[in-house]
Structure 1
Amino acid sequence: MPFAPPPDWVIARRRAVGDRIREARLHANLTQERLAELAGMDRQAINRIEQGHSSPLLDNLIRIADALDVDLADLVR
Protein backbone atom coordinates (compact mmCIF):
# COMPACT_ATOMS: atom_id res chain seq x y z
CA MET A 1 0.00 0.00 0.00
CA PRO A 2 1.56 3.32 -1.05
CA PHE A 3 1.99 6.08 1.49
CA ALA A 4 -0.31 9.08 1.28
CA PRO A 5 1.42 12.36 0.50
CA PRO A 6 2.14 14.50 3.55
CA PRO A 7 -0.44 17.12 4.49
CA ASP A 8 0.15 20.72 3.44
CA TRP A 9 1.19 21.80 6.94
CA VAL A 10 3.99 19.21 6.96
CA ILE A 11 5.23 20.41 3.58
CA ALA A 12 5.14 24.02 4.82
CA ARG A 13 7.19 23.11 7.91
CA ARG A 14 9.66 21.16 5.75
CA ARG A 15 10.11 24.25 3.55
CA ALA A 16 10.63 26.40 6.65
CA VAL A 17 13.41 24.07 7.82
CA GLY A 18 14.99 24.31 4.36
CA ASP A 19 14.77 28.10 4.51
CA ARG A 20 16.52 28.15 7.90
CA ILE A 21 19.27 25.87 6.59
CA ARG A 22 19.76 28.15 3.56
CA GLU A 23 19.86 31.26 5.78
CA ALA A 24 22.44 29.67 8.10
CA ARG A 25 24.51 28.51 5.11
CA LEU A 26 24.52 31.97 3.57
CA HIS A 27 25.30 33.55 6.96
CA ALA A 28 28.30 31.19 7.18
CA ASN A 29 29.27 32.27 3.64
CA LEU A 30 29.17 28.70 2.35
CA THR A 31 28.09 27.36 -1.01
CA GLN A 32 25.84 24.33 -1.21
CA GLU A 33 28.87 22.41 -2.48
CA ARG A 34 31.00 23.39 0.53
CA LEU A 35 28.22 22.65 3.02
CA ALA A 36 27.76 19.26 1.39
CA GLU A 37 31.49 18.54 1.75
CA LEU A 38 31.51 19.59 5.41
CA ALA A 39 28.39 17.53 6.15
CA GLY A 40 29.52 14.46 4.20
CA MET A 41 26.61 14.73 1.79
CA ASP A 42 26.14 15.57 -1.88
CA ARG A 43 25.18 19.01 -3.17
CA GLN A 44 21.96 17.72 -4.71
CA ALA A 45 20.79 16.48 -1.32
CA ILE A 46 21.48 19.89 0.24
CA ASN A 47 19.59 21.55 -2.60
CA ARG A 48 16.57 19.25 -2.22
CA ILE A 49 16.48 19.89 1.53
CA GLU A 50 16.78 23.67 1.12
CA GLN A 51 14.02 23.66 -1.49
CA GLY A 52 11.77 21.54 0.72
CA HIS A 53 11.58 18.81 -1.93
CA SER A 54 12.84 16.06 0.38
CA SER A 55 12.62 15.22 4.04
CA PRO A 56 16.12 14.91 5.48
CA LEU A 57 16.97 12.09 7.82
CA LEU A 58 17.67 13.15 11.38
CA ASP A 59 21.29 12.04 10.95
CA ASN A 60 21.65 14.40 8.00
CA LEU A 61 20.09 17.30 9.91
CA ILE A 62 22.60 16.66 12.70
CA ARG A 63 25.45 16.67 10.17
CA ILE A 64 24.19 19.90 8.58
CA ALA A 65 23.82 21.63 11.95
CA ASP A 66 27.34 20.55 12.92
CA ALA A 67 28.79 21.74 9.59
CA LEU A 68 27.06 25.09 10.03
CA ASP A 69 28.08 25.29 13.70
CA VAL A 70 24.48 25.92 14.78
CA ASP A 71 22.21 24.13 17.21
CA LEU A 72 19.99 21.53 15.60
CA ALA A 73 17.02 23.11 17.38
CA ASP A 74 17.65 26.39 15.55
CA LEU A 75 17.13 24.63 12.21
CA VAL A 76 13.92 22.84 13.14
CA ARG A 77 12.05 25.43 15.23
Structure 2
Amino acid sequence: MPSDPLPDWVPARRRAIGECIRSTRLHRNLTQERLAERAGLDRKTINRIENGVMSPVLDHLLLIADALDVPLAVLVRE
Protein backbone atom coordinates (compact mmCIF):
# COMPACT_ATOMS: atom_id res chain seq x y z
CA MET A 1 0.00 0.00 0.00
CA PRO A 2 1.27 3.45 -0.78
CA SER A 3 1.94 5.63 2.24
CA ASP A 4 0.39 8.68 0.56
CA PRO A 5 -3.39 8.84 0.19
CA LEU A 6 -4.69 7.75 -3.18
CA PRO A 7 -5.82 10.42 -5.64
CA ASP A 8 -9.61 10.90 -5.60
CA TRP A 9 -10.00 9.35 -9.05
CA VAL A 10 -8.72 5.94 -7.85
CA PRO A 11 -11.57 5.12 -5.43
CA ALA A 12 -14.05 6.67 -7.90
CA ARG A 13 -12.75 4.39 -10.65
CA ARG A 14 -12.85 1.39 -8.28
CA ARG A 15 -16.54 2.15 -7.57
CA ALA A 16 -17.24 2.46 -11.31
CA ILE A 17 -15.70 -0.97 -11.94
CA GLY A 18 -17.82 -2.41 -9.13
CA GLU A 19 -20.94 -0.86 -10.62
CA CYS A 20 -20.10 -2.36 -14.01
CA ILE A 21 -19.67 -5.80 -12.42
CA ARG A 22 -23.02 -5.41 -10.64
CA SER A 23 -24.90 -4.30 -13.75
CA THR A 24 -23.37 -7.12 -15.82
CA ARG A 25 -24.26 -9.63 -13.10
CA LEU A 26 -27.84 -8.38 -12.93
CA HIS A 27 -28.10 -8.42 -16.74
CA ARG A 28 -27.11 -12.09 -16.56
CA ASN A 29 -29.77 -12.67 -13.85
CA LEU A 30 -27.17 -13.81 -11.32
CA THR A 31 -27.18 -13.26 -7.58
CA GLN A 32 -23.97 -12.32 -5.82
CA GLU A 33 -23.97 -15.83 -4.35
CA ARG A 34 -24.23 -17.46 -7.79
CA LEU A 35 -21.53 -15.23 -9.28
CA ALA A 36 -19.28 -16.02 -6.33
CA GLU A 37 -19.82 -19.76 -6.87
CA ARG A 38 -19.10 -19.48 -10.60
CA ALA A 39 -15.96 -17.40 -9.96
CA GLY A 40 -14.73 -19.52 -7.04
CA LEU A 41 -14.85 -16.53 -4.70
CA ASP A 42 -16.69 -15.66 -1.50
CA ARG A 43 -19.99 -13.75 -1.77
CA LYS A 44 -18.61 -11.12 0.62
CA THR A 45 -15.72 -10.55 -1.76
CA ILE A 46 -18.15 -9.97 -4.65
CA ASN A 47 -20.17 -7.60 -2.46
CA ARG A 48 -17.09 -5.61 -1.42
CA ILE A 49 -15.87 -5.32 -5.01
CA GLU A 50 -19.29 -4.25 -6.31
CA ASN A 51 -19.56 -1.60 -3.60
CA GLY A 52 -16.05 -0.28 -4.22
CA VAL A 53 -15.01 -1.09 -0.66
CA MET A 54 -12.30 -3.52 -1.71
CA SER A 55 -9.75 -3.08 -4.45
CA PRO A 56 -9.89 -6.34 -6.41
CA VAL A 57 -6.71 -8.12 -7.37
CA LEU A 58 -6.27 -8.89 -11.05
CA ASP A 59 -6.88 -12.61 -10.49
CA HIS A 60 -10.31 -11.85 -8.99
CA LEU A 61 -11.21 -9.61 -11.92
CA LEU A 62 -10.18 -12.35 -14.35
CA LEU A 63 -12.29 -14.91 -12.49
CA ILE A 64 -15.29 -12.58 -12.36
CA ALA A 65 -15.03 -11.73 -16.06
CA ASP A 66 -14.86 -15.43 -16.91
CA ALA A 67 -17.84 -16.22 -14.66
CA LEU A 68 -19.84 -13.44 -16.34
CA ASP A 69 -18.66 -14.61 -19.78
CA VAL A 70 -17.36 -11.18 -20.77
CA PRO A 71 -13.89 -9.95 -21.66
CA LEU A 72 -12.03 -8.31 -18.79
CA ALA A 73 -11.95 -5.06 -20.79
CA VAL A 74 -15.76 -4.82 -20.54
CA LEU A 75 -15.53 -4.63 -16.74
CA VAL A 76 -12.74 -2.08 -16.56
CA ARG A 77 -13.46 0.21 -19.51
CA GLU A 78 -13.85 3.90 -18.85
TM range (shorter): over 0.9
> Structure 1: which 5+ runs fail to align?
none
What are the Cα deviations for residues 39-62 of structure 1, in whole angstroms up to 9, with x where unaligned?
Answer: 000000000000000110000000
Partner of 2:45, secondary structure, is: helix
Q: Give the RMSD, CA atoms, in angstroms.
A: 1.0
Q: Which residue of 2 aligns with 1:52?
A: 52
Q: Which consecutive aligned stretches of 4+ in structure 1 deviate over 3 angstroms post-superposition?
A: none
Rounded Cα–Cα distance in structure 2 between residues aligned with 1:15 and 1:73 = 16
Give the TM-score normalised by the residue count of structure 2.
0.93
Distance 2:8 2:47 in 1: 20
For structure 2, which runs of at least 5 residues remain unmatched after alignment?
A: none
Sequence identity of aligned pairs in percent? 70
Equivalent residue pairs, number: 76
